[in-house]
Amino acid sequence: MPINANNPDKKTWLPVPENSDFPIQNIPFGVFLTRDDIITIGTRIGNTAIDLGALHQLGYFEGIPLTEDIFLQDTLNDFISDGKQTWRLVRNRISDIFNIENRVLQNNEDHKKVVLFSMDEIEMKLPVLIGDYTDFYSSKEHATNVGTMFRDPENALMPNWLHLPVGYHGRSSTIVPSGTPVRRPMGQTFPKGAEKPIFGPSKLVDFELEMAFITTDGNAMGEPISIEEAEDHIFGMVVFNDWSARDIQKWEYVPLGPFLAKNFASSISPWIVTLDALEPFRVESPEQNPEPFSYLQQEGKHSFDIHLKVAITPENGKSNAVSKSNFKYMYWTMAQQLAHHTVNGCKVNSGDMMGSGTLSGPTPDSYGSMLELAWQGTKPIKLDNGEERKFIHDGDTVTMTGYCTKNGVRIGFGELSTKLLPIFEPKKK
List active site positions. Answer: 142
Q: 45: Cβ–Cβ under 8 A, 6 or more apart, which residues?
A: 12, 14, 16, 22, 23, 24, 26, 27, 98
Nearer to Ca ion, 51 or 206 (CB): 206
- Cβ-Cβ contacts under 8 Å for 197 (sequence gap 6 or more): 188, 189, 190, 251
The yes or no reply on residue 141 touching Ca ion (CB under 5 A) is no
242 binds Ca ion (CB under 5 A): yes
Q: Which stretch binds Ca ion (CB under 5 A): 91-99, 157-165, 205-213, 402-410?
A: 205-213
Amino acid at 222: G
Cα(233)–Cα(175) distance, integer angstroms: 21
Q: Which region among 15-23, 115-123, 236-244, 385-393 touches Ca ion (by CB under 5 A)?
A: 236-244
Half-sphere exposure of residue 27: CA atoms within 13 angstroms, side-chain side: 28
**Shortest Cβ 279–Ca ion spacing (Å):** 26
Task: Give me the phi and psi of 78, to 5 degrees please.
Answer: -65, -40
Per CB under 5 A, the segment of 172-180, 186-194, 242-250, 284-292 that binds Ca ion is 242-250
Q: What is the CA radius of gyration of the chain?
A: 22
Among 248, 306, 250, CA closest to 282? 306
Output the DSSP codes for 179-241. Answer: T--EEPPEEEE--TT-SS-EEEE-S-EE--EEEEEEE-----TT-PPPTTTGGGGEEEEEEEE
The least CB distance from residue 51 to Ca ion, in Å, is 34
Nearer to Ca ion, 21 or 208 (CB): 208
Q: Is the Cβ of residue 27 or residue 211 nearer to Ca ion in the bound state?
A: 211
- Whether the Cβ atoms of residue 79 and residue 72 lie closer than 8 Å to each other: no
**Closest distance to Ca ion from the beta carbon of 169 (Å):** 12
Residue with the closest Cβ to Ca ion?
A: 242
- Judged by beta carbon, residue 111 or residue 309, the one nearer Ca ion is 309
Query: Is residue 208 a contact point for Ca ion (CB under 5 A)?
Result: yes
Q: Which is nearer to Ca ion, 170 or 270 (CB)?
A: 170
Number of H helices, E strands in the chain: 9, 26
**Min CB(168)–Ca ion separation in Å:** 9
Farthest CA pair distance, the chain? 74
Q: CB-based contacts of 144: which residues, under 8 Å, 6+ apart?
A: 156, 157
Minimum CB–partner distance for residue 262 and Ca ion (Å):
7
Question: What are the residues facing 245 on neighbouring strands?
Answer: 205
Shortest Cβ 264–Ca ion spacing (Å)? 13
Segment near Ca ion (CB under 5 A); pick from 42-50, 202-210, 224-232, 346-354: 202-210
Among 135, 141, 252, 372, binds Ca ion (CB under 5 A): 135
Q: Does residue number 206 form part of the binding site for Ca ion (CB under 5 A)?
A: no
- Please tell me the count of residues contacting Ca ion according to CB under 5 A: 3
Closer residue to Ca ion (CB): 117 or 243: 243
List residues binding Ca ion (CB under 5 A).
Answer: 135, 208, 242
